[in-house]
Amino acid sequence: MTAPGPLEPRPGAPAHQAGHSNLDPHLDRYASRTAGMTASEIRALFAVASRPEVVSLAGGMPNLAALPLDSLSTQVAELVAEDGLVALQYGSAHGVPVLREQICEVMALEGISAHPDDIVVTVGSQMGLDMVTRLFCDPGDVVIAEGPSYVGALGSFAAYQAQVVHVAMDDDGLVPATLDEAIIRVKSEGRRVKFLYTIPNFHNPAGVTLAVRRRAEILEICARHGVLVVEDNPYGLLGFDGQTYPALRSTDPDNVVYLGSFSKTFASGLRVGWVLAPHAVREKLVLAAESATLCPPTFNQLVVSRYLATHDWKGQIKKFRENYRERRDAILGALEQHLPPGCSWTRPDGGFYVWVTVPEGIDTKAMLPRAVTARVAYASGTGFYADGLGSRQMRLSYCYPTPERIREGVRRLAGVLESEMDL
Ligand code: PMP
């Protein structure tokens, strides 16, 4: 285990230790909750990793090349011409009703039966994460999350001064027994567990999927301990064989808050996501959304709604899946061919990410500048933990580069690892 580096303050660390510059004249003015707000390691990396000579396996940008831009531009023009005065006007914080009905059809693909009134449209599911944390977490409250976990969620938890307790995963996703143990331990320490945050399908960053038989077990453990479940599912329709898994929300509607998004199945730049919540929670979410944004952008919601109504959106998702599968095959083949002995990695059957473990003695964060010099970038593992773990891990994203670039990137990475092992 490594100690947190300078970009990863411990919760509650004084502001000057937590990413605020000592030259900042406003230093004494910030609210104490800003102590947890720091640039994610991944964001810090984007500038170098986006230089054209670097093969970036770091960011998780969706590959939008397969989108039908010509027909989308016609659709957008028609939207302005036919419905412009509605599309360009304020709407309700709850979201456009017709889109909420369509979202129910999308969620039905993963076994969810929901009422459109229980959906709140958000500015990406990131806003859903922020709102759910705002609603439930006081400073010091505990959120249980898989280790590793989504960096944007960890950012929201830190921003509200929640403490994250990680639970273990294996190739079948979250290990139920470790969840039970963690809840019991945290409660025995007198701390309050507010929710389990979980990404059951094609996990970011781990690339694994929660086995179906574990789903009921996890719901049972949470229900038994009175712990809410926050299910984050942006990748669920990106299974490479078209396979889907029953959402946790489909079996326990009263104890699961579900987060969905069009970022990976349509267009991330439109920033349209949603939260499906039990009725009472949904009412609070609408109030929180109102105070955050007044309403999500009407225009973007209507673009998504038209797209769902007029395009073969399931066929489009299939195209995305095929692109990602080709890239997944490229990365797994290259890892097998090039990585030195002692490395291991997960084998995703959907989504964007492979999680790699390197031999003992190599620190992926310390190695990163040398990798960038060798013209390959990855996301080092520590950014995906709230407790400093992950120094022997890295996330490789295969979603964006071409298969040839992916193979070249892995070849370069293997060279860097080999020279680290010689040191
Ligand atoms: N959750 C997970 C697990 C993610 O990977 C992402 C994006 N990378 C998000 C939430 C946020 O997605 P968006 O705000 O674009 O819907």
> What tens digit of pLDDT does each residue of 71-85 get?
999 999 999 999 999
Count of C-beta atoms within a 10 Å radius of residue 390: 26
* For residue 367, pLDDT beyond 90: yes
Distance 150 CA to ligand 1 centre (A): 8
Which residues have C-beta within 8 Å of that of residue 264, sequence separation ≥ 6?
62, 234, 235, 237, 238, 320, 352
Longest dimension (CA), the chain: 66
CB-based contact 207:355 (threshold 8 Å): yes
- Position in ligand 1 atom list of the atom nearest CA 150: 3
Q: Is the peptide bond before 148 cis (omega within 30 degrees of 0)?
A: yes
Task: Grade residue 18 by pLDDT with cuts at 50, 70 and 90.
Answer: very low
Question: What is the overall mean pLDDT for the chain?
Answer: 93
Is the pLDDT reported for residue 382 higher than 50? Answer: yes
pLDDT given at position 41 = 64
Give which of 39, 33, 26, 31 is closest to 12, Cα–Cα: 33
Atom of ligand 1 nearest to the CA of 199: 3
Q: Which atom of ligand 1 is nearest to the CA of 262?
A: 16
**pLDDT tens digits, 211-266:** 999 999 999 999 999 999 999 999 999 999 999 999 999 999 999 999 999 999 99
Closest CA to 121 of 313, 310, 285: 285
Average pLDDT over residues 189-198: 98
| Cis peptide bond upstream of 205, omega within 30 | yes
The model's confidence at residue 44, banded by pLDDT at 50, 70 and 90, is low
Write down the pLDDT at residue 323. Answer: 97
204 lines ligand 1 (CB under 6 A): yes
Ramachandran category for residue 226: left, alpha or beta (phi over 0 → left; psi -120 to 50 → alpha): left
Give residue-wise pLDDT tens across range 140-165: 999 999 999 999 999 999 999 999 99
CB distance 273 to ligand 1 below 6 Å? yes
Please give the helix or strand (H or E) that residue 315 lies within, else none: helix 313-338
Chain position carrying tokens 């038994």: 224
pTM, full prediction: 0.93
Whether the CB-CB separation of 351 and 422 falls below 8 Å is answered with no
User: Which residue has a Cα nearest atom 11 of ligand 1?
Assistant: 126
pLDDT score recorded for residue 42: 62
CA of residue 18 to ligand 1 center, whole Å: 24
Q: Is the CB of 126 under 6 A from ligand 1?
A: yes
Is 174:198 a contact under the CB 8 Å cutoff? yes
Q: How many CA atoms lie within 13 A of 195 on its CB side?
A: 21
Q: Does the pLDDT at position 415 exceed 60?
A: yes
- How far out from the chain centre does Cα 199 lie? 8
Is there an atom of ligand 1 within 6 Å of 250 CB? Answer: no
Model confidence at 21, in pLDDT bands (50, 70, 90)? low
Q: End-to-end distance of the chain based on CA atoms, in angstroms?
A: 21
Determine whether the shortest distance from the Cβ of 232 to ligand 1 is under 6 A.
Answer: yes
Which residues share a beta bridge with 273?
122, 261
Q: Is the CB of 261 under 6 A from ligand 1?
A: yes
